[in-house]
Amino acid sequence: MTETIMAPRTAADCTSSTNTKTSTKVVSDWSALIPGDYVTVLEEYTVPYSGWIDDVTEDGMIIWLVLDFGRGRRMFFREDGNLVTAEVPHAGG
């Protein structure tokens, strides 16, 4: 079963020294994402695109991501089989 999680709000949340013990989790409910969440989209399980959520459709079927390093804005469709992952801190850790 895939665990639903809330993505970190910023890239710093993913790399902060206070969050040194993290794990990557799949975000199974895209409608739980909100603008500003920092995530990685795995397109066809091979090509990673990291950045910040710009917008999400109400049904969570489409997300727009502002890509890292000024690579622009990109739309991803859930029905294409794309996975959204986020770094989350371990409990207690």
Domains of the chain and CATH, by start: 11-89 (2.30.30)
Q: What is the per-residue pLDDT for 89? A: 75
21, exposed or middle or buried, with CB in 10 Å at 0-12, 13-18, 19+?
exposed
What distance, in Å, lies between the first and last C-alpha atoms of the chain?
A: 24
Mean pLDDT of 46-61: 94
Per-residue confidence (pLDDT) for residue 32, from 0 to 100? 93
What pLDDT is recorded for position 92?
Answer: 59
C-alpha–C-alpha distance, residues 67 and 44, integer Å: 17
Check pLDDT > 70 for residue 33.
Answer: yes
Cβ neighbours of residue 15 closer than 8 Å, sequence gap 6 or more: none
pLDDT of 81 higher than 60: yes
Q: What is the mean pLDDT of residues 46-74?
A: 95
Cα(26)–Cα(17) distance, integer angstroms: 22
CB neighbourhood size of 2 (10 A): 10
